[in-house]
């Protein structure tokens, strides 16, 4: 592999160094969740579903939130569930990507439809777009995904957490519905 390649994934050592410098923040941080080149994130206790039968990209689509009971909750095919990670994260000099864990994928669960990439400056929990192929019982606290971090080459002018039009900047512990309706189109 070329040593001058700019789009490289951070290793466990580099992730730890970035955490020590404050370039990456993971709360709560558990050393046992750090992999060779990723960090495992977990499903928080909150899920949400849209209340309408039809969603409209130009309108606010309300959601109904609920907690996953201790005995778990069975998600169903054909329903989009919004979940959220237990972990709050910040990235100030790398691009975070959220991918599903292979064990979750082998249960037929997708944790994001299209939104796996974060921006430099993203500071929040991660809302998950959960869908499944078969009914599956899920639990709060289960490992659901992994964050990988890509190095950035060049100066950054427009950090996500500094953008006046960023739609997902408010810190939350609950899933956040689509804010597409705030766009002008």
State pLDDT tens for residues 135-152: 999 999 999 999 999 998
> What's this model's pTM, rounded to 2 decimal places?
0.91
In DSSP terms, which residues pair with 145 in a beta bridge? 41, 100
pLDDT of res. 156: 87
In a domain, 7, yes or no: no
Question: What tens-digit pLDDT sequence spans the chain (185 residues)?
Answer: 444 555 699 999 999 999 999 999 999 999 999 999 999 999 999 999 999 999 999 999 999 999 999 999 999 999 999 999 999 999 999 999 999 999 999 999 999 987 788 889 999 999 999 999 999 999 999 999 999 999 988 888 888 887 777 778 788 999 999 989 988 89
In a domain, 84, yes or no: yes
Q: What CATH number did the domain enclosing 63 receive? A: 2.70.40.10
In a domain, 70, yes or no: yes
In a domain, 18, yes or no: yes
Beta strands in the chain (DSSP E): 24-27, 39-42, 46-50, 63-67, 73-75, 81-84, 88-91, 94-100, 109-110, 123-124, 127-132, 136-138, 143-151
For residue 90, what are the domain limits?
A: 12-151
pLDDT of res. 6: 55
User: Can 129 be counted among the known catalytic residues?
Assistant: yes
Mean pLDDT in the chain?
92
Question: 82-113, pLDDT tens digit by residue?
Answer: 999 999 999 999 999 999 999 999 999 999 98
pLDDT of res. 161: 81
In a domain, 167, yes or no: no
Residues 6+ apart with CB under 8 A from 157: none
pLDDT of res. 17: 97
**Rounded to an integer, what distance in angstroms lies between the CA atom of residue 47 and that of residue 133?**
18
Residue appearing with tokens 């410098």: 21
The active-site residue out of 67, 129, 157, 177 is 129
| 3-class state of residue 75 by DSSP | strand
pLDDT of res. 7: 60
In a domain, 23, yes or no: yes
In a domain, 182, yes or no: no
Number of folded domains in the chain?
Answer: 1
């Amino acid at each position: 592999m070329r040593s001058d390649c700019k789009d490289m994934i951070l290793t466990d050592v580099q992730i730890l160094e970035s955490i020590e410098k404050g370039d990456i923040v993971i709360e709560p941080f558990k050393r046992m969740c750090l992999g060779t080149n990723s960090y495992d994130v977990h499903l928080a206790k909150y899920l949400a579903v849209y209340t309408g039968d039809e969603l409209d990209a130009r309108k606010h689509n309300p959601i109904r939130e609920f907690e996953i009971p201790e005995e778990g909750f069975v998600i169903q095919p054909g329903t989009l569930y919004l979940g959220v990670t237990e972990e709050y994260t910040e990235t100030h000099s790398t691009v975070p990507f959220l991918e599903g864990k292979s064990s979750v994928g082998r249960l037929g669960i997708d944790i994001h439809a299209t939104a796996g990439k974060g921006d430099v400056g993203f500071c929040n929990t991660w809302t998950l777009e959960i869908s499944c192929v078969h009914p599956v019982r899920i639990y709060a606290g289960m490992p659901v995904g992994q964050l990988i971090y890509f190095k950035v080459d060049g100066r950054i002018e427009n950090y996500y957490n500094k953008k006046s039009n960023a739609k997902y900047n408010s810190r939350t512990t609950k899933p956040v519905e689509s804010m597409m309706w705030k766009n002008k189109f």
